[in-house]
A and B are shown apart, each in its own frame.
Chain A
Amino acid sequence: MSHLSTQLASGQFVVTAEIAPPKGTNLAPALAEAAKFEGITAVNVTDNQGANMRLSSLALAAQLQQAGTETVLQLTCRDRNRMALQSDLLGAAAFGIENLLLLSGDHSKFGDHPDARPVFDLDSVQLLDMTAGLMAGFDMVGKPLDGVPNFFPGAAVNPAAEPFELMFQKVSKKIDSGARFFQTQSIFDRDALERFMAAMIPLNVPVVAGVLLIRNAKMARFLNDNIPGVKVPKVLLDRFDRAVDPLAEGVAIARETVGWARELCQGVHLMTLGHEDKIPAILA
């Protein structure tokens, strides 16, 4: 049983963080960064994040597990067909990886290989279904597995998405397909989070709220223009524009968001993008 699953089951407020594999084979900086995390239950390892080609999330997650850091392996449908997804999941289990974040994946056009053929042989609901099948001992065509993986599958959601009912029907499908927890897209709007959590409570699946540390107004505007599903609202843009120390303002905003999550959710997922040293301040 992973720490993430036991802590969520026991109602402990969990904190996850995020680490991106390198562009290249030098794992040392990523491993050193992970070793510095304090008070973190598990570290998400991103999968060709933003459709930018990097070392495989499975390889870094395996190394982190061996070094004693619990991981959440992110796996997207963008770059692999159903056969590759199944074999990577079995490979992950062989390395002792249990926590999964199963995603559709950003479109290839956003990344550094825009000419690549996007795969999307499965969608995230089907990927969750397939994972449940592997855990029950069978591959997608019903063939029995010799050695059965034990996963704690999670899924993603954007609580602020509109129309709400359309977004939420997919959440329900993901739960029916075996999602045991959710990690959310970056939260900027308390009302949207409240509405989402009101709908989630009866379903009894823990929600780990995404908190992104924004460094300055420029980064906020970049996110709005370039990152799918991320909308930094005007009131926050104004705060960054007025701030004397924008990074300190970003930490303050992240800390407020963590406060909402402590009230409403079961944990936070911190995306600090190189400012891991700010994590204690964000959690304070």
Chain B
Amino acid sequence: MIISELKPLEELQQALAEFDKLFLVGCAACATTCKSGGEEEIFKLQEWLTEQEKTVTGSVVIDEACHIMRAARDLRHHKNAVQEADAMVVLACGSGVQSISSTIEKRVVGGLNSMFLGNVRRFGHYEEMCSLCGDCILNETAGICPVTTCAKGLLNGPCGGMEDGHCEADAEIECAWRLIYERLQKQNRQGVFARRVPPKNWSRRRQPGRYRLKDGGR
């Protein structure tokens, strides 16, 4: 899921300074799970905005804010409250914010910073394991992604900064290449160490990404 966190309140205060009446939008998918934009956070935001002497005209938690058409449909159900507002405050990832900003004429204020595609280690602990590079090497690296979990994204083994098997950029993190090496050893195979890995094809990750299912997904 997409891991996001609430922007610093001072930043939000500034972004909302010119508006009095606000409509709040959350997201029932990732932002709910990582407790940045679910029902509870929308409620807290409403309380805070009231303290700031703003008027909240209404709110909705959209099923998946990243779904442009559904987001538009859900907002239509709150037409009057949306109409009444000077601006929308969206507690969803950057994708969600842009679903809203592309379907409505009103000013849209994003309340979160989107951070990464995260795995849940345990409740409230998220880790980035995949950076959506479009050119997956996991089958050779025993299911551990060096593009993401090596701080430098190296493809041919650890850098000279590995210390006692830990990462130079964060001593609390185990070196991705040490983990790959140990798991491949357990699996009794050479995997990625059997070859020199050529430079990565970053054209697979050209932005903005576009993808369409063949035959329209039928």
Using a CB–CB cutoff of 8 Å, the interface residues on chain A facing chain B are 77-78, 82, 103-107, 109-110, 118, 120-126, 129-130, 140, 156-158, 161-163, 165-167, 169-170, 173, 176-177, 185, 228-229, 231
Contact = CB atoms under 8 A, between A and B. Distances in A.
- Where chain B touches its partner, the secondary structure class is loop
22 contacts: A77-B152, A104-B159, A106-B161, A121-B199, A122-B199, A124-B156, A125-B155, A126-B197, A126-B199, A130-B199, A157-B160, A162-B165, A163-B165, A166-B157, A166-B177, A167-B157, A167-B158, A169-B157, A169-B193, A170-B156, A185-B160, A229-B168
B54 interface: no
A104 B202 contact: no
Given A107-B152, A126-B156, A231 B163 contact: yes
B178 interface: yes
B164 interface: yes
A82 to B, nearest CB: 6
Contacts of A78: 152
Tell which of A78, A156, A162 has the most Cβ of chain B within 10 Å.
A162
Tell which of B158, B159, B198 has the most Cβ of chain A within 10 Å.
B159
A162 B158 CA distance: 10
Given A166-B177, A173-B196, A176-B196, A123 B165 contact: no
Contacts of B161: 106-107, 228-229
A123 B197 CA distance: 10
A161 B153 contact: no
Interface of B: 151-165, 168-169, 177-178, 181, 193, 196-200, 202
A107 B168 contact: yes
A180 to B, nearest CB: 17
Contacts of A167: 157-158, 162
A173 B177 CA distance: 15
A138 B171 CA distance: 40
A130 B198 CA distance: 10
A211 to B, nearest CB: 16
> Which 3 pairs, one residue from A and one from B, show the smallest C-beta to C-beta distance?
A228-B161, A228-B168, A170-B157
Given A104-B152, A107-B152, A229 B160 contact: yes
Tell which of A82, A157, A169, A177 has the most Cβ of chain B within 10 Å.
A169
A125 B163 contact: no
Nearest to B151: A107
A177 B177 CA distance: 19
Contacts of B200: 121
A114 to B, nearest CB: 11
Contact of B160 (A125, A161, A163): A161
A165 B177 CA distance: 12
Contacts of B152: 77-78, 104-105, 107, 118, 120, 123
